[in-house]
Amino acid sequence: MYKYLLCAAVIAAAFCVGCGDNSTGSGGGGGNENDSTYTITFDANGGAFTPEKSTTGIDGRLASLPTLRRNGHDFDGWYTTAKTGGTQVTTGTVFNGNTVIYARWTLGNATFVDDRDGTIYKMVTLGTQTWMAENLNFAASNSACYDNNVDSCAQNGRLYDWHTAVISAYESAADSGSVQGACPMGWHLPLDDEWDVLMDYIENGEMAGTSLKSKAGWNNNGNGTDAYEFSALPGGIGNHGNFISAGYDGYWWSATGTEGDTSFAWYRSMGYNHERVDRYNSGKRTLFSVRCVSDTGASPTYTLTTDALPTEGGTVSPATASYNIGTTVTVTATPEPGYTFIGWTGTGVPTPDTTNPVTVRMNGDKTLTANFKKIEEVPREIIPDEIRDKIVDKMPLYTGATPPDIIGQYLANSEVLVGSSLSYDVIGRGYADLYIAFVMGSNGKLSYQEKTGSGLSSGKSDDVIVEVVGNSNNFTAYFIKTGVTEGISTKSSVVVSGTLTSSGISNFHYAFVMLETGPDPDNKIVDVNTYRIFKEDDGLAANYNWLSKGRATPTPSDDRSEMTSMMLDAR
């Protein structure tokens, strides 16, 4: 069923339905005088209409009457004259001759004129937004009528590819602000977030499509209630000169492209066979309908509140400010000298929460607090001060807020003991090959895995504490992990230092510190605060993709024990 743009009409004589043929008719029961069929011509009275004619049954009645649409007008029905007066025609009207009937129109209460072509559009205010209550029908370059039929444009508006809808003003998901695009002056193509505002205003969730769809024009009993006078129309879809789904489905562009693929953009759709409003993305060359939103009162603003903790630890840019809906804001945390950035907290927190700078899309009020920590406090929270002061003599402990990205897999195959708190340890003794990997955990935080001849050992993401500090290519990484050794619960710290190079980690050092143990009546585990320090003897822990190669096999040697023995009391 089609909907068209037509003018007001009236009826000429109270019961003279077939006046052109000097025949008469009645709206009452009974058939026509001759049990004949007649041709009824529809005059859209200012609009377009297909088909323009219909044939009665032998009872002189029409089986149905089309419901039309006209930009900026409400359709009042069919009448027997074109101007004023007359009788309304219904499916109960009996015709006694070939007849012309006329559409009647009333100008909509809320309308505006597109100054570019004089088209009148109805509009509706829903919450904070004012929307066009009809599909756009401006003949922009590269737009099209469904099936290239102008009557389709009169019925459901034109179809536009995304670039035409936005006039190529914005190509990226990161773009923000109002995009007039193909819309009239004072109106703009809605952002995806602005469609969200409309959906939030519609109260009945999964039935929003039924509430927004027009009362007529949808095939197969797919009409809606038009409870909000939005009058969504099934304009269909076009692509590469082909057209489908008019009368069955409606699709409407947003001004928001998808992230990561600039050839796609977001749209909303409604269908004849369901009650919801769907959100999908499509290639930008697809032809969809367009609904415009008024620039006045259409776009709410939201506040992004930024802060630093502690305030002396650094700064956050930009400062607290308000932004239009859909605006993309880049927020940067900058530590002061002697501090390091350790993560974000608040309602705008990214994943992972250590991303810096971070991009925030303003689709609601949001807060972001940058958290900083004094650099010298980092290792002291992980290992005791007195132990740190001892191991710093045997290995480099770097500081700084800009360490290198150490994610990767490495092999130290010449590990030797260079420092120990245990009197019976032999300095210079060789140990099993150490395979180590720095990986990003599922929680978005840096973690590590290590492996020696005894197998894989890793800190679980929920019980690893990690800090990485340093400058340029120099770094020191601090980890805490918990586990069980010889049936005894342990909590230990691992410290890795070195200089990142294209070949691996040079000047590689590895320290182990026992922090806590469970009950150990047989003295199987080394004492709390015991430490051992190892160094790669040839100076380089080389890049080595060991995680994909299964278990490592230690180099045979009578005077080398596995790395896991560092926890054991060898006395």
Tens-digit pLDDT profile for residues 83-135: 777 889 999 999 999 999 988 877 656 788 899 999 989 998 888 888 999 99
Same domain, 128 and 235: yes
Question: Residue 63: inside a domain, yes or no?
Answer: yes
Instruction: Indicate if 250 and 364 belong to the same structural domain.
Output: no
Listed residues 244, 272, 294: the one ending a domain: 294
Asked whether 211 and 224 are in contact (CB, 8 A), the reply is yes
Residue, of 338 and 278, whose pLDDT is higher: 278
What does the alpha-carbon distance between residue 119 and residue 131 come to, in Å, rounded to a whole number?
16
Distance of CA 39 to the CA centre of its chain: 54
pLDDT at site 560: 31
Asked whether the bond before 404 is cis by omega within 30 degrees of 0, the reply is no
Mean pLDDT of the chain: 81
Provide the residue type at 486 as one letter: E
**CB distance 270 to 235 below 8 Å:** no
- Would you say residue 502 lies in a domain? yes
The reply to whether 368 and 404 lie within a common domain is no
Q: Which helix (H) or strand (E) holds 193?
A: helix 192-201
Is residue 24 very low, low, confident or very high in pLDDT (cuts 50, 70, 90)? very low
Residue that is written with structure tokens 């089309």 in the block? 66
Pick from 449, 462, 464, 434: which is nearest to 547 by CA? Answer: 449
Amino acid sitting at position 120: I
- Asked whether residue 265 falls in the same domain as residue 390, the answer is no
HSE on the CB side for 436, CA within 13 Å? 27
Q: Is residue 492 part of a domain?
A: yes
User: Which residue from 383, 396, 475, 394 is spatially nearest to 438, judged by alpha carbons?
Assistant: 475
pLDDT band at 523 (very low <50, low <70, confident <90, very high): confident
C-alpha 55/C-alpha 64 separation (Å) is: 10
Residue 353: what pLDDT? Answer: 80
Q: Cis link prior to 554 (omega < 30° from 0)?
A: no
440: β partners? 446
- Rounded Cα distance between 375 and 380, Å, is 10
Q: Say if CB 165 and CB 182 are below 8 A apart.
A: yes
Residue 478 falls within a domain, yes or no?
A: yes
Q: Which residue has the tokens 């004849």?
A: 272
What is the maximum alpha-carbon separation in the chain? Answer: 125
- Does the model's pTM come out above 0.75? no
Do residue 184 and residue 279 come from a single domain? yes
Q: Is the peptide bond before 357 cis (omega within 30 degrees of 0)?
A: yes
Domain match, 245 and 207 both: yes
In the numeric block, which tokens belong to residue 165? 């809808």
Q: Which residues contact 162 (CB under 8 A, 6 or more apart)?
A: 253, 257, 265, 284, 285, 286, 288
Residue that is last in its domain, among 59, 76, 108? 108
| Domain extent for 312 | 301-374
Q: Do 138 and 76 share a structural domain? A: no
For residue 127, what pLDDT is reported?
A: 80
Share in percent of the chain as helix, strand, coil (round to 5): 10, 40, 50
Q: What is the mean pLDDT of residues 62-78?
A: 79
Tell me the H-state helices in 15-161: 150-156
For 369-401, b/e burial (b = at least 16 CB within 10 A) is bbbbbebeebbeebbbeebbebbeebbebbbbb
Q: What value, to the nearest 5°, has the Cα angle with vertex 241 and ends 72 and 165?
A: 45
Whether 424 is in a domain gets the answer yes
Residue 28's pLDDT band (cuts 50, 70, 90): very low
Is residue 12 a part of any domain in this protein? yes
Name which of 256, 246, 245, 266 is nearest 188 in CA terms: 256
- Radius of gyration of the chain from its Cα atoms, rounded to whole angstroms: 38
Are 103 and 124 in the same domain? Answer: no
How many structural domains does the chain have? 4
**Is residue 398 domain-shared with residue 362, that is, in the same domain?**
no
- CATH at residue 36: 2.60.40.4270
CA distance 549 to 451: 12
b/e burial code for range 125-142 (CB count within 10 A of at least 16 → b): ebeebbbbbbbbbbebee
Please tell me whether residues 55 and 174 are part of one structural domain.
no
- The answer to whether residue 176 sits within a structural domain is yes
Give the pLDDT confidence score for residue 402 in this predicted structure: 81
* Tokens of residue 215, six digits: 């009362």
pLDDT in tens, 128-172: 888 999 999 999 988 999 999 998 998 899 999 999 999 745 443
Nearest Cα neighbor of 259 from 326, 173, 181, 199 is 173
Which of 237, 267, 294 delimits the end of a domain? 294
Q: Are residues 399 and 454 in the same domain?
A: yes
Give the whole-angstrom CA distance, residue 251 versus residue 270: 7
Nearest Cα residue to 86 out of 27, 146, 137:
27
Mean pLDDT of the 203-209 span: 82
Give, in order, the Cα–Cα distances in Å from 466 to each of 274, 438, 477, 525. Answer: 51, 11, 7, 24
DSSP structural state of residue 435 = E
> Could you read off the pLDDT of 279-326 as tens digits, one per residue?
999 999 999 999 999 887 655 678 999 999 999 999 999 999 998 777
Residue 379: inside a domain, yes or no? no
Same-domain pairing of 288 and 160: yes
pLDDT value at residue 465? 62
Which amino acid, 31?
G
Among 307, 380, 382, 317, which residue's Cα sits nearest to residue 345?
Answer: 307
